[in-house]
Structure 1
Amino acid sequence: MITDSLLILGAYLLGSISSAIIVCRIMGLPDPRSQGSNNPGATNVLRIGGKKAAAITLLGDSLKGLLPMVAAHLLGASALVLALTGMAAFLGHLYPLFFRFKGGKGVATALGVQFGLHWGIGLAVALIWLFIAKVVNISSLSALVSMALAPLIVWVIWPETELVVMQIVMSSILFWRHRSNIQNLLQGAEGTIANQDNSEDK
């Protein structure tokens, strides 16, 4: 019981480490909370710092979800503890203790949780994201479609109630965090991935 509690707490604390803010500080870039979309995530880092900074941020955010899930598996955690660990890492990214509870939108961390839960789940969600991104060239729409389908993917690959509920909650929160993007999509004003890479050489 104590091990489970420490695992969940550790997942939240790891999730609270903002890759975007740290990467921008190390690379001498503007604070992502004050530039672009003001969101400390990989897409905004791409906008203000280019591909290299965005790739490092994406990797860091993904690892925050992946590593706690791997640790939970190694410790033989139950489905409930796996679900709580994944949610803790995800919520840590969204509401980080170390950065005044103002975090990113959670797509990369959610994907890390999915890969850590089961490689097949993560791969399926990632492939859907890549396919939609290739077709429409819009990051937010790719995230919304892939995460909308994620609960079904979890149910097909690992139909444990706790895990399916975890993914439903995560997907619902992701949609809420993307509400401004959804409004832009409805108005035809959402930027494309190509247009977000306009500061690569800055």
Structure 2
Amino acid sequence: MSVFLVLLAYILGSMPMGYLVVKLMRGEDIRKYGSGNIGATNVGRVMGRKWAVIVGFFDISKGALAILIARCLGVTSPDFLAFIGVIAVLGHNFPVWLKFKGGKGVATSFGVVFMFHPLASILGGIIWYCVMRLSRYVSLGSMVSLSSVPFLLILLGSNRAYIVASTFLAVLTILRHRANIKRLLMGTEHKVGERVA
């Protein structure tokens, strides 16, 4: 059962909705546009806000669904549930279908955190929105908000396993944003509302 759930979490996480939307709607590879990422932000630049919302919702849902299925099948161990969540995000970031070149895992991480502690996810989402609106950089909002989640979980008295997992996801998010950090420092990072051809 444990092996099955781990594989299922990876498969769910690795479903590349952003890639599929652009491929089906335009017959093109999203990775050739904008930031080269398959996530909702880059889909928005190419396809518009509606499709960004759809992809973002899907990516959030698959992270939450991986843990929800495990719980429905009787898993109660916070350690294993936290591990399942991490695997789902790794599936998004390194999908076998795209030669392990996937997204940055922000939306999927928030779906996982929602299953850890809904309030922490909501507060993290508010932080993301505020930073994004003030700076107009989605990448900055993503890094700041996910980095805040471990502290929110501590303040909310969450389980240690969820705090450790969320810390790992925050570090992973920052590592996946290395190119964005360089562009932020150079002043060439894409801002909210920018579209690409």
Tell me how far apart the structure 1 counterparts of residues 109 and 87 of structure 2 sit (CA, whole Å): 11
1:29 offset after TM fit, Å?
A: 5.0
Tell me how far apart the structure 2 counterparts of residues 164 and 174 of structure 1 sit (CA, whole Å): 15
Amino acid across the alignment from 1:185: L
The farther-off stretch of 72-81 and 53-62 is 72-81
Pick closer, same or farther for the CA change 1:87–1:44 going to 2, 3 Å: same
1:138 and 2:137 aligned: yes
Equivalent residues of 2:149, 2:166 under 8 A apart:
yes
1:153 and 2:145 aligned: no
Question: Corresponding residue for 1:192?
Answer: 191
Q: Secondary structure at the match of 1:33?
A: helix
Question: Corresponding residue for 2:181?
Answer: 182
TM-score normalised to structure 2 length:
0.93
The farther-off stretch of 32-41 and 151-160 is 151-160
Tell me how far apart the structure 2 counterparts of residues 29 and 126 of structure 1 sit (CA, whole Å): 32
Equivalent residues of 2:66, 2:84 under 8 A apart:
yes
Amino acid across the alignment from 1:50: G
1:80 and 2:79 aligned: yes
Tell me how far apart the structure 2 counterparts of residues 64 and 188 of structure 1 sit (CA, whole Å): 33
1:67 and 2:65 aligned: yes
Tell me how far apart the structure 1 counterparts of residues 43 and 27 of structure 2 sit (CA, whole Å): 9
* Structure 2 gaps, min length 5: none
Bigger relative contact order, structure 1 or 2, given CA contacts below 8 A and separation 6+? Answer: 1
Tell me how far apart the structure 2 counterparts of residues 97 and 161 of structure 1 sit (CA, whole Å): 30
1:2-17 aligned at under 5 Å gives the runs: 2=1, 4-17=2-15
* Structure 1 gaps, min length 5: none
Equivalent residues of 1:29, 1:49 under 8 A apart:
no
Tell me how far apart the structure 2 counterparts of residues 115 and 34 of structure 1 sit (CA, whole Å): 31
Equivalent residues of 1:39, 1:103 under 8 A apart:
yes
1:36 offset after TM fit, Å?
A: 1.7
Q: Secondary structure at the match of 1:20?
A: helix
1:148 offset after TM fit, Å?
A: 1.2
Question: Corresponding residue for 2:54?
Answer: 56
1:190 offset after TM fit, Å?
A: 1.6
> Percent of aligned pairs with the same residue?
35
Question: Corresponding residue for 1:38?
Answer: 36
Tell me how far apart the structure 2 counterparts of residues 170 and 27 of structure 1 sit (CA, whole Å): 31
1:102-181 aligned at under 5 Å gives the runs: 102-181=101-180
1:101 and 2:94 aligned: no
Name the Cα RMSD after superposition.
1.5
Amino acid across the alignment from 1:19: M
Tell me how far apart the structure 1 counterparts of residues 112 and 133 of structure 2 sit (CA, whole Å): 23
Tell me how far apart the structure 2 counterparts of residues 72 and 125 of structure 1 sit (CA, whole Å): 24
Q: Secondary structure at the match of 1:27?
A: helix
Tell me how far apart the structure 2 counterparts of residues 165 and 190 of structure 1 sit (CA, whole Å): 30
Equivalent residues of 1:15, 1:64 under 8 A apart:
yes
